[in-house]
Amino acid sequence: MQDMFSDAMEQLLKDRCAPSHIRRIEESGSAEELWREVLASGFADALVPETGGGAGLSLAEVFPIVFVSGRHALPLPFAQTMAVRGVCGATSMPCPDGAIAIASEVDRQADGAILCHRVPFARVSSWVLANLGTTAVLLPTETAQSSLAGGRGSLDASLRWERIPEDASRLTGNHDWRAIGACLIAGLLAGALERVFEMTVGYANERTQFGKPIAKFQAIQQQISVMAEQVFASKMAAQIGFGSATHLPAVSSAAVAKLRTSEAVVSVSAIAHAVHGAMGFTEEYDLQLYTRRLHEWRLSYGSEAHWGSVLGSEVAGTQGLRAIDFVRERIPAWCV
């Protein structure tokens, strides 16, 4: 069933989310057409219980769909919307139809204004789920003051509302939205890292220098092997993050997923650009669609430094448990 879903998603994105579509969306900041197509596929309700009209899948079961979204650099908060809809569905709350970004870093000001910092995909979202600690609130992006929070082509924005609208939907339950966001991004990172790896292998086999493909040189082979290791480790880390039988990740598993995938970004993007040479540095070549995102996503919802600190405190605070036992007992990784 999983493969069926991810194959269908793969086909949809192949047709509708080609590099030319991504470039257009990055330029215009508008992705409504693509969003309607993604929504029509029904995948956005994958985590909603069957009683609520969804597919009732676990986070582990939707991993392949999120991974494929990362492979195609889908310029929409699809995974995030799926997660928020899943949380709404679990409490039978209605959820609006638009794309929903997740803001984990939120400031409330004395005058009632609300500030959401560096929200991934906010430029192409209709809603932002703002994390207020014990609750979260859905805010419409059309009434926000929005500032681009990234470099060229970024879809991230910082947003400010004068006040929370009285009729805003509130999600109850104490959810760790930073960990949820981190886990989802880890799934996207794993997919994007794999795509960058494939592009690099492909280019190394095509590009000829000194009379043979550069893939035939040991110096290149050794670098690409290192890349393969990082990419395989990232996919495993993301599977650990998504390794939950419910619609939500365990915090420690999300920590491992985001930490390891973020760390992989450093060497994978460096090797990809090294192998591609100047061509990989052009706007025209598609590599940049991915490597720009890798670095943005590394920064989103906590990098390896943040999650290292979270996980390290947890290990240090758990008396008597050996490292291996901490891994076995405290970092759940449920297999489908």
Partner 1 sequence: MIDSLTLTSIPAEDEALRPSLRAFLDKALEGVAADVRAHSWMGFDAGFSRALGERGWLGLTFPAEYGGGGRNFFARFVVVEELLAAGAPVSAHWIADRQSGPLILKYGTEAQKRFYLPKICKGEAFFCIGMSEPAAGSDLASVATRAVRTERGWKLNGRKIWTTNAYRSHYMIALVRTSGTAEDRHRGLSQFIVDLSLPGVTVQPIRDLTGDEHFCEVLFEDVFVSDDALIGAEGSGWEQVTAELAFERSGPERIYSSIVVLDEWIGFLRAQNDPSASAITLLGRMVAHLCVLRAMAISVTGKLARGESPVVEAALVKDLGTEFEQQLPLLITEALGGEPGRAVPLPLLKTLAYVTQISPSFSLRGGTREILRGVIARGLGLR
- Sign of the four-CA dihedral 122, 40, 297, 182: positive
Two structure tokens written together for 250: 């365990």
To the nearest whole angstrom, how small is the minimum distance from the Cβ of residue 310 to partner 1? Answer: 7
- Is the Cβ of residue 143 or residue 318 nearer to partner 1 in the bound state? 318
To the nearest whole angstrom, how small is the minimum distance from the Cβ of residue 104 to partner 1? Answer: 19
How big is the chain by its Cα radius of gyration, in Å?
A: 20
Q: Which residues bind partner 1 (CB under 8 A)?
A: 201, 204-205, 215-216, 218, 220-222, 224-226, 228-229, 232-233, 235-237, 239-240, 243, 255-256, 259-260, 263, 304-305, 307-317, 319, 322-327, 331, 333-335
- Is the Cβ of residue 264 or residue 289 nearer to partner 1 in the bound state? 264
- Is the Cβ of residue 82 or residue 240 nearer to partner 1 in the bound state? 240
To the nearest whole angstrom, how small is the minimum distance from the Cβ of residue 57 to partner 1? Answer: 16
Cβ atoms of 108 and 132 closer than 8 Å:
yes
- Is the Cβ of residue 133 or residue 320 nearer to partner 1 in the bound state? 320
- Is the Cβ of residue 99 or residue 272 nearer to partner 1 in the bound state? 272
Q: State the pairing for strand pair 127-131/100-103.
A: parallel
To the nearest whole angstrom, how small is the minimum distance from the Cβ of residue 72 to partner 1? Answer: 17
Euclidean distance between CA atoms 255 and 246, whole angstroms:
17
Contacts of 257 (CB under 8 A, 6+ apart): 182, 183, 186, 187, 237, 238, 240, 241, 242, 249
- Is the Cβ of residue 94 or residue 320 nearer to partner 1 in the bound state? 320
To the nearest whole angstrom, how small is the minimum distance from the Cβ of residue 261 to partner 1? Answer: 10
Residue with tokens 């676990």: 58
- Neighbour tally for 303: CB within 10 Å: 17
- Is the Cβ of residue 92 or residue 218 nearer to partner 1 in the bound state? 218
To the nearest whole angstrom, how small is the minimum distance from the Cβ of residue 211 to partner 1? Answer: 16
To the nearest whole angstrom, how small is the minimum distance from the Cβ of residue 177 to partner 1? Answer: 20
CB neighbour class for 156 (10 Å; exposed up to 12, middle 13-18, buried from 19): buried
